[in-house]
Amino acid sequence: MEEKRFSVVPYDPSRLKRQLIVAVFLSLGAIVLVFSLGSLRGVSVTEIDESLFQPAFLLLALGFVVGGWFVDGARVFFTVRAWGKRIRFRDAMAAVLSTYFMSAITPFLTGGSPAQLFVLARSGLSWGEAGSLVVICGILYQVGLLVLLVFLFAFFGMGLALRGILLGLLYSFAVFYSAIMFLLFFFLFRPKVLMRLVDWGIGFVRRRFPRAKFSEEAVRRWIETFFAEFREGFTILFVRKPQYLLWNVGCYVVSFLCTFSVAYFILRALGLSPWYFRVVGAQIPLFFVFSFIPSPGASGGVELSIASVFRGFVGAYRLGAFVLLWRAATYYVPLSMGGVIFFRVLRGLSRNNNHERKKS
């Protein structure tokens, strides 16, 4: 059974554009609010000492953004080989940038993993292989953050810089993530329970939507094949080829350092010289809780969260400029590049589908 291609485009471009507009609107609104708070304290943007501004550091910040993309792309490019498959590096980069784009416009950052799965499946992996890679790497994403957090705590004695609602979100994330991991491994070792749930779901759809036309046997077979390949992927990475796990964790650590370095160089551009690892340590807990912000791409919440944490670094009169520059580098630049790449993938898929329909 052919499972690597869609018969239709799974994403509606017009809907994606609407989500994009909402995300950007919320982000810009939050940035304006941060500037307004500075104005309420009698601070004007014109009060910033332009003689201290060093734009060369902004170029370094953008360089670290792009460097993070290539590290992430190399992570995907080589990890695919654990399944004995090879993809082009540009396909790995397309998967990574599509992840950035879809995460940036969907609630709770949920769109990134399906987008990466979709692009990898179009690049030569089966759905089960791509699914296990995406899920395992999602786990290792959190592991990479934990490694950095433990490193800073062990070697520099740095604790969490979160208070109030952000600290509560971090605790909520720990509980939620633990529950998800429990369910994931439970179904891996109890596949019969999963298939019972599938049968219940098929029965529910049949009862509630009697006009729905689909083959129950085809659905069960597809899910069984997907789950078998998914489970095989876990066996490969956790048992047979654990070196790829270490590769992923190492790449995530380097990628996070690239991302966290952006804030450091923006601070340097604004004429400040903070301790590098203090800047890194301030961002790690935030990246744990960003996925709990319900707005598309966590827009609005991200800007206000980063402003609350970095106010102690920059003061009220530089805070708006810092948030604007940081969000431009870490959000708007990846959003723009990822959007171009992802819409190109969709156009290519549409052309292929039209060609197949004409042939048939």
The model's pLDDT over 221-261, given as tens digits with 9 standing for 90+, comes to 888 888 888 888 888 988 899 999 999 999 999 999 999 99
Q: What is the pLDDT of residue 118?
A: 93
Q: What are the domain boundaries of the chain?
A: 13-359
Where does the pLDDT of residue 4 fall: very low under 50, low under 70, confident under 90, or very high at 90 and above? very low
Task: Tell me the C-alpha distance between 307 and 330, whole Å.
Answer: 14
Question: pLDDT per residue over 272-322, tens digit each?
Answer: 999 999 999 889 888 888 888 889 999 999 999 999 999 989 988 889 999
Q: Is 46 helix (H, G, I), strand (E, B) or coil?
A: helix
Least confident segment among 157-166, 172-181, 286-295: 157-166
Percent of the chain with pLDDT over 90: 48
CA distance 294 to 223: 29
DSSP one-letter code for 7: S
8 Å CB contact between 306 and 326: yes
DSSP 100-151: HHHHHHSBTTTTHHHHHHHHHHHTT--HHHHHHHHHHHHHHHHHHHHHHHHH
- Compute the average pLDDT of residues 112-125: 92
Distance CA 251, CA 21 (A): 32
CB hemisphere CA count around 224 (13 angstroms): 11
**Sole residue written with tokens 């790829």:** 244
> Which tokens go with 88?
């082009």
- Return mean pLDDT, the chain: 85
Task: Encode pLDDT of 56-111 as tens digits.
Answer: 999 999 999 999 999 999 999 999 999 999 999 999 999 999 999 999 999 989 89
Distance from C-alpha of 318 to C-alpha of 41, rounded to nearest angstrom: 12
For 17-59, what is each residue's pLDDT tens digit? 899 999 999 999 999 999 888 665 554 544 455 667 899 999 9
> What pLDDT does 173 receive?
67
**The pLDDT of residue 7:** 42
Q: What is the pLDDT of residue 237?
A: 87
Phi, psi of 107 (to 5 degrees): -60, 140
Tokens of 154: 């062990």
3 state SS of 163: coil
Q: What pLDDT does residue 279 have?
A: 94
Selection from 256, 36, 241 nearest residue 152 by Cα: 256
User: By percentage, how much of the chain surpasses pLDDT 70?
Assistant: 86
- The sign of the dihedral angle between the CA atoms of 252, 255, 259, 262 is positive
Per-residue pLDDT at 332? 97
